[in-house]
Structure 1
Amino acid sequence: MHSAFLLRRRIMYRLTKTRKRTVAVTASTLLLFPVLLAFGVETIGRGTFTDAWMWIGANPALFAINALLYSFVFLFLYCLLGSLVPSAGVTALLMFTAALISYFKTKMIGEPFFPWDILLKKEGTNIIPLVSGSAVLTRVAIVAAIVLGLFLLRLIVPRFRLPILTRLGLGVLAVVCLYGMAGRSPAAERLFDRAGVSEIVWNQQENYGNNGFGLAFTLNIQNAIIKKPPGYGEASIATVAQYITDKQSVPAFKTVSAEDSRQPNVIFIMNEAFWDPTLLPDVSFSEDPIPTVHRLQQESTSGYLLSPQFGGGTSNVEFEVLTGNSMSFLPSGSVPYQQYVNQPVPSLASYFESKGYKSMGIHSYDGWFWNRDNVYKNFGFESFKSKDKFDNPEYKGNFISDDEVSRSIISAVEESERPMFIYAVTMQNHGAYDDSRYGENAIRVDGNLTPEAAGILETYTHGARDADQSLQLLIDHFEQSDQPTVIVFYGDHLPMLGFDYDVYKQAGFIGKGTWSLEELKKMRSVPFVVWSNFDLPQEQVPTISNSFLGGYILDKLDMELPANFAFTLDLFKQYPGLLSNLVVDAEQNMYATAPEAAKPALDQYRELQYDLLFGNRYLAHFLDADYLTKSALDDYNMEFEPQIASEAPAAEDEDDSI
């Protein structure tokens, strides 16, 4: 009896000791793991242990907030999964993957990982071919090994399950705390203030660099909500409408010339990543890669567009050009095509339709990409010719050739009985450029470049040469045409030439440190040229934002400007360049933030954009009601419906081959 009692005591003692040890291990893990995780995330996001350690030493309070955020994520997953070690592994997998994406995305296009990037779905997979090389794979392998090691700890760490009510209570607590920090509750705001959090919305690289990945990502969740501008309402929009009325000097539609009363075909061609590589100062070329563009820069209206993007985000440039709206008033890194264009939005397409035109979009890639199938309908296009609607197209490299797009434009104009507005987007010269897609490149480069950098630049230059030739193909055709036609040709953004702007640095285009305003302007400036087969005034435009281009071209054609484009045209004359982190005035002075003199006009612009995208369309109460409230066309894309039905299997096979 006594022996049995002693045995029971020993067993209870050992169980109690084991339970205490398990509790101690669990508590230690819950406390220490988020700190180690925060250090790991910052190391991945910043690139080196040294950079992470220096940031932590300089910003211990900010580091603590990042660790606190990760602790709530870890606690929630622990309560959800019920097992400590797998929860740590899942937390590390999620956080390290997000940090890797942010690191690669920043190095490639200068933007970190945002909350709304999660919405990109299939578009996000297009970054995978761009992430290559031994250094990149080494980073991925190290992270994978750490995560796997965490999961394997399950074999030696004892399992400790929380009681169900405890799990429920702690899980709710974690969610409430995360929600409060993301929603910036009063308690969270006090915590942020004491820690010295300083959000830099207009420069997200600096925002993530100063605050740390977890905190900056969390702060941006609130930024995804578009807030109503202070003072917005019918009265404020009435003031904007009166301003537009006072400034509008063209009362009605005008024809292109007294001799020709026909409306001109208006063709916008946004050529993928088109830029002038001869601007690289320390590189020479065996021949001029873009002679057509260089000739037009001397003979016709031309200049430089200030793009809101670098290396990617084509749809955001389309958004600015087609709607006259500015990415400057939307969260950095957002994608309006994915997030905001879910109802009819007044655009150049709906405007030209109202003038008796046929508005057509042409893009030599999948229609689902960037949600164009739906967006173009909401923009008022009558038809959209995407990749699956091309009949046996010519390919160069992995994509349909630029020449094929030019031939498609010609065919569309020739087949239409009405004048046409065409917005064409090419795909041939999409990055990355380390694939030797053309075999032997026609143009050789010479300069102090590594063989890898030279190969990237030669491949890109070959594509730019083909783009230039595709423009000449259009010019050759319409020079012989009796239909008045104007072509506006430009790129969407500078190309991503190597990892971390490598080719630009080697070629002396930018320095290796933080960009100056002049360097920022250079890295966002793409050439545009205008050609027509009738007389148009010639003008050199040193800077014009994409959001101002539509109004500018309508004015050049002496066409009546709809209200929103009339506003942007006037703003262009005062502040021709507008990015979230760069404003250029009429004298070409540059500012990192809007100068005081510009704020009243920019506030009106912000209110006007909010009214048309998110607000009540008060502007339609005063001006252009038919245009501003125009619905999507009922027969959108009907011309392609028989072709879609008959060629669906072939289109599916083609997608599988790309």
Structure 2
Amino acid sequence: MSAFHEMKEEITAFFNRNLVLKLFKWISVILFPLYLTLAVNYLSFGNTTQLYTLFTKDIGSFAFGLLLVWLAFLFFAAVIPNLSLAALVTAILFISFSLVDYFKFAILEVHFFPWDIYLARNASSFGEFLSTIVIPESLWEILFSTLFYCILLFLLAPKISMKWRFRVLTSPLFFVGFILLMTNHTVQQGLSPFLGISSEKPADQNTFYAEHGFLTAFCLNFGSVQNTNVPQNYSKSYIKNAFEKYLPNQNSGETFQNPDIVVVLSEAFWDPTVLNGVTFSDDPLKNFRKITKSNPSGKMISPTFGGGTVRPEFEILTGMSTSALPPGNIPYQQYVKKDIFSYPRVYKNLGYDTIGLHTYQKTFYDRAKAYPLMGFDDFLGEYDLHAEQHWNSGPYITDETIAEEIVYQLEQPHDVGVFVMAITMENHSMYQNKFDEKDKVIKVSGDNLTSQQILTLENYAAGVRDSDRALKAIYDYVMSREKPTIVLWYGDHLPTLGDDFDPYLATDTISCPTAAQWSEEEKHIMFSTPYLIFTNYDTGRAYLADNQSVSPFLLPALMADYIDAPQCLQTNFLLELYRTCPIMSKYYNFYSPNADKTKREQIRELHELMTYDMLIGKNYISEIK
């Protein structure tokens, strides 16, 4: 240590020899926030092209992030006070957040949002994802260059002498400025005109992050976490006038047979054979196709891609629209804080038992807290299931387990019936090196595919094949039982099969990696997942949306209509929405092509109003009699 101290003293003495060298020391300090802003955004972008564009063409967005870094640096410099140590702490803070963004995007093709902080308690569960990621050299270069810069500042940074009164006065100012800039929507709106940026968040968050950089986009999102605007015209009288016409017919449900109801969210369940020029040695969805020949089926237009399971899940359970909430939202964590309307609660009020099942951590996305608030009697996670846990060479409990647990729950005594919501996990990403060869029974080929793309698709095909087999097991059991039963099986979103929508691009399934630039046909391909509904009895009614594409929030109402469940106001409204515009995705500006635009916008606004009222507002709808 003494030798190192002597070296530091010699370097300090050298740079104190003349004004030019002294000036260099201060320049190295002043440039550090600039370097850190560049480094943090580079980690998020993963390339210099987007960083150059941000620095040259979107300078206002870059300046916003730079100001944030400066405020943090000045705060730590005032508190410590040591410029090199302040630089190190500032670097750790911002680099850590940027790394979280990098790894999250690598796993899910979705950026790091402020509300993801709620997932910190589940951080350990991401270890299994991280083990499959190949860390590029550029990431190590940034980490080592940042460390080198901090060491350089340790050797060069001039000592600063601040009286404690000055530190007590300035440190709170810098801290408050940092917090306000990062989180306060009003402050952000005030700065936006001067910096030439918009504080309004678009539906496509990937484009938003690409245009503004990680730091600025993250902060602007932070400003909207608790800033869900009250919809125009929101009042008790307006709600009553708008929705009272959807009050239920008191004679509805005359042919309702109290069937057991099973809803299965099959993780990333999708048909990979739609990829252009790709051949599979066997059909991974052979059972699904066979069942759909004699049962209603269609496409569900997911509000998300590659991740965000919670959004289509929430929409199907509640009939609400996540498009009414800030982009990237996690409803269970942000908004489900009290008892809310849900279809499980509707059936619970009819005497049903209500049970949620998941072959993963039940605390993830705060499901364990949210499910009781949606009317579930119980919610079972991976360690609570009664069925034997089945494993293969992949990292997750297989879908065979969830199929057996569903059978177990259906065989238990229920006074009226049971509503089961089951969430699978086996087919979750990552797909690069997921299964051993013995489990990859479907071989993939394609002229435009690399060896890594083929390997990824073979891993995905193995998982979705197992999901398809679990579907058959549930189907065979249901068709063998006497108790009337209905099952809704759906995929929540398409899988993330590689960086930048690879191999969707490689197979010309889409023309570019930017969702905002996709054609209507490309949007339909990239957001539609298969679903089917089957029963073991004659409901006496036709399924309204057979072979059609619909938004997920319509499925519970369509299913209720199919089994002639007693009407409720929400079901009647959603059926009217279905008749007006069955595809409604404001996030991606994707709607049913033949819908009347005026009527579409009117009923979309009503749906968002209904969502706000039941989830965030005063729940005036429940008072309409």
Unaligned ranges ≥5, structure 1: 1-13, 257-261, 624-658
Q: Which moved more, 1:572-581 or 1:281-290?
A: 572-581
Alpha-carbon distance in structure 1 between the residues aligned to 2:587 and 2:34: 33
SS of residue paired to 2:62: helix
Once the two structures are superposed, the pairs formed by residues 226-375 of structure 1 within 5 Å of their partners are 226-245=228-247, 248=248, 251-256=251-256, 262-375=257-370
- Cα distance, 1:500–1:100 mapped onto 2, change above 3 Å: farther
Once the two structures are superposed, the pairs formed by residues 373-412 of structure 1 within 5 Å of their partners are 373-391=368-386, 392-396=388-392, 397-412=394-409
- Cα distance, 1:558–1:116 mapped onto 2, change above 3 Å: same
1:84 paired residue number: 83
| CA RMSD across the alignment | 2.8
Q: Which moved more, 1:475-484 or 1:524-533?
A: 475-484
The residue identity in structure 2 corresponding to 1:505 is L
Alpha-carbon distance in structure 1 between the residues aligned to 2:76 and 2:252: 63
- Preserved CA contact (<8 Å) 1:575 1:583: no
2:37 paired residue number: 38
Does residue 546 of structure 1 match 2:542? no
Q: Residues 120-162 of structure 1: CA distance to partner in whole angstroms, max 9, x if unpaired? A: 1143444444446786242332232123223323144343242
Q: Residues 539-596 of structure 1: CA distance to partner in whole angstroms, max 9, x if unpaired? A: 534321111211111111111232223322221221222334234444457xxxx955
- Cα distance, 1:612–1:142 mapped onto 2, change above 3 Å: same
2:610 paired residue number: 608
Alpha-carbon distance in structure 2 between the residues aligned to 1:568 and 1:19: 77
Alpha-carbon distance in structure 2 between the residues aligned to 1:307 and 1:603: 19
Same amino acid, percent of matched pairs: 28
- Preserved CA contact (<8 Å) 1:93 1:147: no
TM-score, length basis structure 2: 0.89
- Preserved CA contact (<8 Å) 1:489 1:530: yes
- Preserved CA contact (<8 Å) 1:275 1:491: yes
Aligned length: 599
- Cα distance, 1:559–1:187 mapped onto 2, change above 3 Å: closer
1:566 paired residue number: 572
The residue identity in structure 2 corresponding to 1:242 is E
Q: Which moved more, 1:187-196 or 1:495-504?
A: 187-196
2:68 paired residue number: 69
- Cα distance, 1:461–1:187 mapped onto 2, change above 3 Å: closer
- Preserved CA contact (<8 Å) 2:361 2:381: yes
2:538 paired residue number: 535
- Cα distance, 1:313–1:381 mapped onto 2, change above 3 Å: same
The residue identity in structure 1 corresponding to 2:349 is S
- Preserved CA contact (<8 Å) 1:327 1:580: no
- Cα distance, 1:121–1:588 mapped onto 2, change above 3 Å: farther
SS of residue paired to 2:548: strand
1:201 paired residue number: 202
2:9 paired residue number: none
- Preserved CA contact (<8 Å) 1:76 1:174: yes
Q: Which moved more, 1:213-222 or 1:510-519?
A: 510-519
- Cα distance, 1:249–1:576 mapped onto 2, change above 3 Å: farther
Alpha-carbon distance in structure 2 between the residues aligned to 1:460 and 1:409: 24
Q: Residues 203-226 of structure 1: CA distance to partner in whole angstroms, max 9, x if unpaired? A: 222222222322222111121012
- Preserved CA contact (<8 Å) 1:70 1:214: no
- Preserved CA contact (<8 Å) 1:253 1:558: yes
Alpha-carbon distance in structure 1 between the residues aligned to 2:369 and 2:58: 45
Deviation at 1:522, TM superposition (A): 1.7
- Cα distance, 1:461–1:250 mapped onto 2, change above 3 Å: farther
Alpha-carbon distance in structure 1 between the residues aligned to 2:122 and 2:202: 24
Alpha-carbon distance in structure 1 between the residues aligned to 2:190 and 2:364: 42
Alpha-carbon distance in structure 2 between the residues aligned to 1:353 and 1:139: 54
- Preserved CA contact (<8 Å) 1:611 1:618: yes
Alpha-carbon distance in structure 2 between the residues aligned to 1:565 and 1:530: 18
The residue identity in structure 2 corresponding to 1:216 is A
Deviation at 1:184, TM superposition (A): 5.3
- Preserved CA contact (<8 Å) 2:188 2:220: no
The residue identity in structure 1 corresponding to 2:514 is T
- Cα distance, 1:548–1:26 mapped onto 2, change above 3 Å: farther
Alpha-carbon distance in structure 2 between the residues aligned to 1:581 and 1:236: 26
The residue identity in structure 2 corresponding to 1:420 is V
- Cα distance, 1:74–1:416 mapped onto 2, change above 3 Å: same
Alpha-carbon distance in structure 2 between the residues aligned to 1:185 and 1:320: 27
SS of residue paired to 2:293: helix
- Cα distance, 1:438–1:252 mapped onto 2, change above 3 Å: farther
Deviation at 1:191, TM superposition (A): 3.2
- Cα distance, 1:170–1:294 mapped onto 2, change above 3 Å: same
- Cα distance, 1:22–1:77 mapped onto 2, change above 3 Å: farther
TM-score, length basis structure 1: 0.84
- Cα distance, 1:19–1:93 mapped onto 2, change above 3 Å: farther
SS of residue paired to 2:533: strand
The residue identity in structure 2 corresponding to 1:522 is I
1:523 paired residue number: 526
2:425 paired residue number: 427
Once the two structures are superposed, the pairs formed by residues 494-509 of structure 1 within 5 Å of their partners are 494-509=494-509
SS of residue paired to 1:395: coil
The residue identity in structure 2 corresponding to 1:318 is E
Q: Residues 434-475 of structure 1: CA distance to partner in whole angstroms, max 9, x if unpaired? A: 234253221111212222211111111111111111111122
- Preserved CA contact (<8 Å) 1:574 1:585: no
SS of residue paired to 1:325: coil
- Cα distance, 1:218–1:187 mapped onto 2, change above 3 Å: closer
- Cα distance, 1:206–1:434 mapped onto 2, change above 3 Å: closer
- Cα distance, 1:207–1:134 mapped onto 2, change above 3 Å: closer
- Preserved CA contact (<8 Å) 2:500 2:513: no
SS of residue paired to 2:425: coil
Q: Which moved more, 1:19-28 or 1:139-148?
A: 19-28
Unaligned ranges ≥5, structure 2: 1-12
Q: Residues 353-379 of structure 1: CA distance to partner in whole angstroms, max 9, x if unpaired? A: 111111111111122222222211111
Alpha-carbon distance in structure 2 between the residues aligned to 1:506 and 1:68: 40
Alpha-carbon distance in structure 1 between the residues aligned to 2:19 and 2:255: 87
Alpha-carbon distance in structure 2 between the residues aligned to 1:309 and 1:220: 17
2:412 paired residue number: 415
Alpha-carbon distance in structure 2 between the residues aligned to 1:58 and 1:436: 41
Q: Residues 474-498 of structure 1: CA distance to partner in whole angstroms, max 9, x if unpaired? A: 2212222111111111111111112
SS of residue paired to 1:619: helix
2:4 paired residue number: none
- Cα distance, 1:499–1:123 mapped onto 2, change above 3 Å: farther
- Preserved CA contact (<8 Å) 1:300 1:529: yes
- Cα distance, 1:267–1:79 mapped onto 2, change above 3 Å: same
- Cα distance, 1:122–1:453 mapped onto 2, change above 3 Å: farther
Q: Residues 1-22 of structure 1: CA distance to partner in whole angstroms, max 9, x if unpaired? A: xxxxxxxxxxxxx9xx899999
Q: Residues 361-403 of structure 1: CA distance to partner in whole angstroms, max 9, x if unpaired? A: 1111122222222211111111222211234422233222212
Q: Residues 413-450 of structure 1: CA distance to partner in whole angstroms, max 9, x if unpaired? A: 11223311111111112221223425322111121222
Once the two structures are superposed, the pairs formed by residues 153-168 of structure 1 within 5 Å of their partners are 153=152, 154-168=154-168
1:217 paired residue number: 218
2:475 paired residue number: 475
- Cα distance, 1:277–1:89 mapped onto 2, change above 3 Å: same
Alpha-carbon distance in structure 2 between the residues aligned to 1:74 and 1:373: 39
